[in-house]
Structure 1
Amino acid sequence: MAGLYWMAVMLTVLLSAGDRADGVDRANSVNRANSVDLETLASYVSQIKSMYIPEDGGMFSVAVSIPEEEIHPGNTLETILKLSDPATEVKNKYREDKVYVGKRVVAAKLPTSSDKHVEFLVLEKLKDLFKGENKKDMLLFYVFASPCPGICLKTDHSRTILNKINIIRQWRRYAVVFSQVFQPKDPPTIPYEIRREALKLLGNHKVNNAKIGLDHVFRCWKPKGWMVCISCDNGNQVAHECISYENEPGPSQNQPSSQVKQPQQGKGGSSSQRGDSGGWKISGGKRGNKSNKGR
């Protein structure tokens, strides 16, 4: 009897372990299905920037609902967006100091008549972009510079984006992307630890018990002349390249760097990176001419 009892216990344990393994496999399958290919992301960002970067450069943000199932070599993202949300219409709204809301795009440049940052302005209107036909799309939320720790990523600030960013989780796939690491207009610079904790908070802040995840946050820029993207999730750490100013050493030589992938020839766009940035400094860049209240 004792032998039968222990056999039953072992069988229960094995079945339970199998169920847990199946659950892990299913979760991993979902994560793989929702993961973002870095080469594809670099191509998307290149095309979006070439179309919607403001004429005078500077800070801007764009959210694009991307119909990935419709994209193929003969029908690029840029081709789709030229029909749904022409660049001329978006830039006309820039000139009017208004937020553009179209069929697949919400966009804003640094406003002259508001204290709100561009990320906040775009997120305020993002609910207008989510429609039934967009449920299978990927949402790419792009901002030229990483959100600032003092306002955008401060939990108790009235203009924080932390309580608004989770709207992107309505899309089947999503990515938060920036190009340059935020730097204040005037010294002192933001300490490395504060930059790291702020970006970690962007990924891990929970709204209704849900978070966007640091694995959905990316930096896409041109360190060597072509667009490359890296994940800001480096295991349990924030990738150094996502928070470092130009040539700034990491806090530890033991922290590995995220993998940087060069897109295949012809996949990326041809847009050039603007040096001016609307009154705040970008890492390795120049200051813009426009004051933007410390942004």
Structure 2
Amino acid sequence: MPKIKAEKKCRPHTAIAKQGITFNKNFGQHILKNPLIITSMVEKAALRPTDTVLEIGPGTGNMTMKLLEDVKQVVACEIDPRLVAELQKRVQTTPYQKKLQILIGDVLKTELPYFSVCVANIPYQISSPLVFKLLLHRPTFRCAVLMFQKEFAERLVAKPGDKLYCRLSINTQLLARVDMLMKVGKNNFRPPPKVESAVVRIEPRSDPPAISYTEWDGLTRIAFLRKNKTLGGAFRQNVVLAMLEKNYKLHCSLHNKEVPQDFKIKEKVEGILTRLGAEQKRARMMDIDDFLALLQAFSDEGIHFS
């Protein structure tokens, strides 16, 4: 009879074990336990004594305590009241108590205060909406050093022609410079996640393009729906042509322009693509400048994507 391998037990975080707290998978709770990685993330943020740092999902406070040593204030956003209580206990009666502000709730639904830097081990299921919430926050922050699922991080930094290049890549890089800092194995967390992780540095652009981001998003959504398909093929889809025709007629109505009797949206779209030499291009090979030129050409002809 084959031997049954005993299940490997992980030693729980001492403070958590005393309270009998179990981590909630629905909140993506994987506590970063390796102090070397925490220190490295804090160092990569190049913190200043005057900084106000936003931390999302502080958990038991391992990163929070390190941040409090170096900055003026830490704003920690935590959805789990049990971990809020743990964090409060950890700073109680220490010099750091007055430097810590805790926001209780879902960060995606919370109005964020001013912060100059963001350092966090992000709950992976909110990665995409959170990145854009941060990038659209005003006033803009100096930089963010964030832990993501490895594949998500690779998509953020992917370039035209890369296998993982997608809408996420180009939409993020339109607004920020993104650099991969390091890869982090599963065993650096408790409990270990099912996927590998990576840390990226996001630095918002000081002069983002003066465009409508809803228009940009509508254009890239069409182009990347099947990123290996040519733009000519993507824009010939009936549902796309119907949407563009509706928007064009609305544009004409708002600007008191008459729609020609023989108007055909398909011919107009094909004309724009041909004029730009873009009909045979594929989204996976196009960079930001290619899409900006395309957006401008459509806009000049009164064709909109939102």
**TM-score, normalised relative to structure 1:** 0.27
Q: Please identify the structure whose Cα radius of gyration is greater.
A: 2
Higher relative contact order (CA 8 A, sep 6+): 1
**TM-score, normalised relative to structure 2:** 0.27
- Structure having the higher helix fraction is 2
